[in-house]
Amino acid sequence: MPVSPQAPPENREPRAYCAECGRPTSVCVCGALERVATRTRVVILQHPRESIVPIGTARLAELALPNAELHVGIDFSESARVRELLSDERAPAILLYPGAGARDLANEPPAGPVTLVVLDGTWWQSKKLLKSNPAIAKLPRYAFDPVEPSRYRIRREPERHCVSTIEAIAHALVHLERGETDVTPLLRPFDAMVEHQLRFIRSGSEPRHVAKPRGAKRTRFPAVLAERAGDLVVGYGEANAWPRGTPLGDGSEIVHLVAERVVSGERFEAFVAPRRPLAPSFTHHTGIAQGAVLSGETFATFVERWSAFLRPNDVLGSWGWYWSEALRREGAPLPERVDLRQLARRALRSRPGDVEECAARLAATPERAWAPGRTGRRAAGAAAVARALNRRAQGGT
């Protein structure tokens, strides 16, 4: 279902995006979607950088195939769901990947229903996924010889035998379903996406061809949004803060922290035992039970886990600086930081309001909060804002 933004400032209309296919509503392809039931289970493992490509096809395959799952990441060894799928003896896993040792699906199709594992990304990215997941690399490999060149005319493939992810899945299903399932509807939203894009190019309606009104300025996004979306970690921390003017009101300490990588979806949560008495109004303001905090881990244990979660190239995005500054004062490690509120203000060219209001103005619908209390709500809102800003940075709007 399309989501509509509020009236934008300065007569500048931002794009609205379809919540299903993820495409701008002007080029939504949901009307061409038709569900294709298969006995073959399809598991798409997507490189994080591919997940932000606006003309990617993995999402279309996931929407069209009821028996398909899409997982984003690099190392899937810690994913219980992926491990479960790969070990299901009722539908043994096979890997769709060309190269030496790969069997021909047309001449040597596996017997019985299988779980088809597909790597989604550029060739460099798929090789990275293969190298990072030895268990997947050891799966029986299968390939096919396309009978026609790729229909992906808006993205150049490196070789004639290379096709888009959704085309590869369709080709494979032709052989795996043994002619019992018509898979042609699977490619209809893909064809619609390609035609939409080519129509914009032919008509000169691409944003780069549109004359800008005099005085209009293009929003410049920092590299963390335009080029390093996979490095962005969005977090929110809830503090034990006493009123100012009271004996304990000269500072605050973080006692509940959640963080999420906006591209891969990896998550971190910690309840940290307070280092001083808990403020009487804590539960009233945060919606978090005192017991959850009082029984939390030590600050030292939290720091150890937090350090293990962070990566060298991470950028921490937060709504303002309050909670991250509280962590810094206590000596917790922090990567490079960016203020999402300031980035949103630049994108909207007006005050963004609170994080939930800002998400609505950016046509971003927060996912259901996965952490309790105010922490969960605000973290979900901040993640929605970050994803919306990423889309704008990638699309240049």
What pLDDT digit, counting tens, does each position of 315-327 carry?
999 998 889 988 9
Q: Are 379 and 367 in contact (CB under 8 A)?
A: no
Per the DSSP assignment, residues forming a β-bridge with 96 are 118, 142
Q: How far is CA 49 from CA 54, 120, 122, 262, 390, in A?
A: 11, 10, 9, 11, 12
pLDDT per position as a tens digit, 139-189: 999 998 765 555 544 344 434 445 788 888 988 998 898 878 888 888 888
Any idea which of 240-254, 307-321, 342-356 has the lowest mean pLDDT?
240-254
What is the arithmetic mean of pLDDT over 251-280?
92
What is the arithmetic mean of pLDDT over 40-49?
92
pLDDT per position as a tens digit, 352-389: 888 888 988 888 888 889 999 999 999 999 999 999 89
Looking at residue 353, its pLDDT comes to 86
How far apart are the C-alpha atoms of 192 and 25, rounded to whole Å? 13
Strand, helix or coil for residue 118: strand
Strand, helix or coil for residue 378: helix
Q: How far is CA 160 from CA 53, 55, 121, 151, 155, in A?
A: 22, 20, 17, 11, 13
- pLDDT above 50 for 57: yes
Q: Exposure string (b/e) for 180-201, b if CB count within 10 Å is 16 or more?
A: ebebeebbbbbebbbebbeebe
Rg of the chain taking only CA atoms, in angstroms? 24
Looking at residue 259, its pLDDT comes to 96
Full-model pTM = 0.49
Looking at residue 210, its pLDDT comes to 41
How far apart are the C-alpha atoms of 363 and 129, rounded to whole Å? 32
How far apart are the C-alpha atoms of 245 and 342, rounded to whole Å? 30
What is the arithmetic mean of pLDDT over 85-112?
90
How far apart are the C-alpha atoms of 43 and 90, rounded to whole Å? 15
Q: Which of these, 361, 308, 381, 382, lies nearest to 14 by C-alpha position?
A: 361
Q: Cα 109 from chain centroid? A: 33
Looking at residue 148, its pLDDT comes to 56
Start-to-end C-alpha separation, the chain: 21
> Per-residue confidence at 304, pLDDT binned at 50, 70, 90?
very high
Looking at residue 221, its pLDDT comes to 60
Per the DSSP assignment, residues forming a β-bridge with 42 are 68, 116
Count of other CB atoms within 10 angstroms of residue 26: 13
Q: Which domains does the chain have, with CATH numbers?
A: 9-201 (3.40.1280), 223-395 (3.30.420.10)
How far apart are the C-alpha atoms of 77 and 243, rounded to whole Å? 46
* Residue partners of 1: CB distance under 8 A and separation at least 6: 18, 19, 20
How far apart are the C-alpha atoms of 12 and 352, rounded to whole Å? 15
| DSSP single-letter state for residue 26 | G
Looking at residue 258, its pLDDT comes to 96
393 token code pair: 């940075």
More confident residue, 243 or 54: 243
